[in-house]
Copies of this chain bind each other. A is one copy, B any other.
Amino acid sequence: SICNKVLDLTLLLLKQNNFPNAHSSPPPPPPPVDHFGFLENRTFQQRYLIADQYWKKDGGSILFYTGNEGDITWFCNNTGFMWEVAEELNAMLVFAEHRYYGESLPFGNKSFSDSKHLNYLTSEQALADFAILIQHIRKTIPGAQNTPVIAIGGSYGGMLAAWLRMKYPHVVDGALAASAPIWQFEDLVPCGVFSRIVTNDFKKSGKGCSESIRNSWEAIKRISSTGNQLPMPPQHLCSSKNCISQFLKDPSLSDKLLLQNIFQAINIYYNYSGVASCLNISHTATKNLGEAGWYYQVCTEMVMPMCTDGVNDMFEPEKWDFQAFSEECFKLWGVRPRPSWILSVYGGKNISSHSNIIFSNGGLDPWSGGGVTQNITNSLVAIVIPEGAHHLDLRSSNPCDPESVRQARALEVHYMKQWIGKARQRH
């Protein structure tokens, strides 16, 4: 993969030969484990990847990926957009790993052992790591002193890109925050918006789809209350685009047939080889994500209320129960969530005094419900990609791309060029 070819610079492993443009650049001082207090004076090794083959000292730029909850090579490999625009923007690419993920573990294999070691896993600490890393790169790579920097990220990484611009505008000149649900907190958006968008996606995908799923919950209850086991149907492997829809097109089937069809549909995602006899739906496709770390973050500051009502969505009704959530977090980690802190520190909906941020969102992406989908000012701009899912714009271009994502990417480049140009004038 492309990101195994780029330079993997742990802080103490900078190799001169691999990085010709930066031969006089010493490795950065390792970031402190705690930027916001002086008692904990240990430092740690933060991993980041650099690709400088497209970078030009004069008229160039730095595109800085604000790593999210996972191994940075994974995000590096899945952010083809940056590679594709690097030449046009004469850009140095930097992919910075988020502390507590991948190989950037502040306390090695003890990092997740208890709430004491997890105490420095916050977005504020991560932003400070990024800010200091950028300052170091600018200071030590010859010719990079005044190079404009654009922060780029998707999902949680998109939030970080936006917040980095908000909190450290002296460090990054603009941000592309792709599919960043910065408003999926407290009561900024209805807690059911996510489920509603998922339901709409199913509705769009075929007649009867969302109704089949909505009807299935009661069917499960009725069948399981009889004590009977549901005989599983034979596997119908299929590869067509509307495969799932085919199984879900008739919501009025008998309980037994309805559930057998749903099982078939689930198999397409969880058992496409057809060899699994039992499906573990807690296994996801994204095993590179650091799930323990993320769940700690969700239990502290990244509290995103979710609910379903079974009316506006196809799920079993479930209210958002903060108390229960808080108890669970306390049991798991010994900490209590602070649900309003993110609003206090990053501004909630009152962000109009900031500038130079693109918020892009896909219409099919349920996270778009917590995203910024309308322009706030002429430099806090929203781009909506109706046919897009979760940060499709950051992926490599593909012949099957809808026209809307092509346009979105072109517009993103347009804004980035504009901000890079203005930043260059200032220096």
Contact = CB atoms under 8 A, between A and B. Distances in A.
Contacts of A347: 168-170
B135 A38 contact: no
Contact of A119 (B37, B171, B335): B37
A272 interface: no
A124 B344 contact: no
A36 B124 contact: yes
A168 to B, nearest CB: 8
A303 to B, nearest CB: 11
Interface in A336-369: 336, 338, 341, 344-345, 347-348, 350-355
B353 A170 contact: yes
Contacts of A355: 353
A120 B426 CA distance: 37
A301 B115 CA distance: 26
Contacts of A124: 36
Nearest to A426: B352
B338 A300 contact: no
Interface string A90-134: 000000000000000000000000011011101011001001100
Contact of A39 (B115, B338, B345): B115
A15 interface: no
B38 A350 contact: no
Contacts of A36: 36-37, 122, 124-125
Main secondary structure of the interface of A (DSSP, over half): loop
A33 to B, nearest CB: 11
Contacts of A207: none
A26 interface: no
Contacts of A214: none
A283 B86 CA distance: 61
A125 B39 CA distance: 15
A32 interface: yes
B335 A41 contact: yes
Contacts of A119: 37-39
A415 to B, nearest CB: 16
A354 B128 CA distance: 19
A132 B344 contact: yes
Contacts of A38: 115, 119, 122, 300-301, 335-336, 338
Contacts of A37: 34, 36-37, 119-120, 122
A290 B235 CA distance: 75
Nearest to A352: B426
A347 B345 CA distance: 18
Given A38-B338, A39-B116, 6 more contacts: A35-B341, A39-B118, A39-B335, A131-B344, A168-B345, A169-B353
Interface of A: 32, 34-39, 41, 115-116, 118-120, 122, 124-125, 128, 131-132, 135, 167-171, 300-301, 335-336, 338, 341, 344-345, 347-348, 350-355, 426
10 contacts: A36-B36, A36-B124, A37-B120, A38-B122, A38-B301, A38-B335, A39-B118, A128-B345, A131-B345, A170-B348
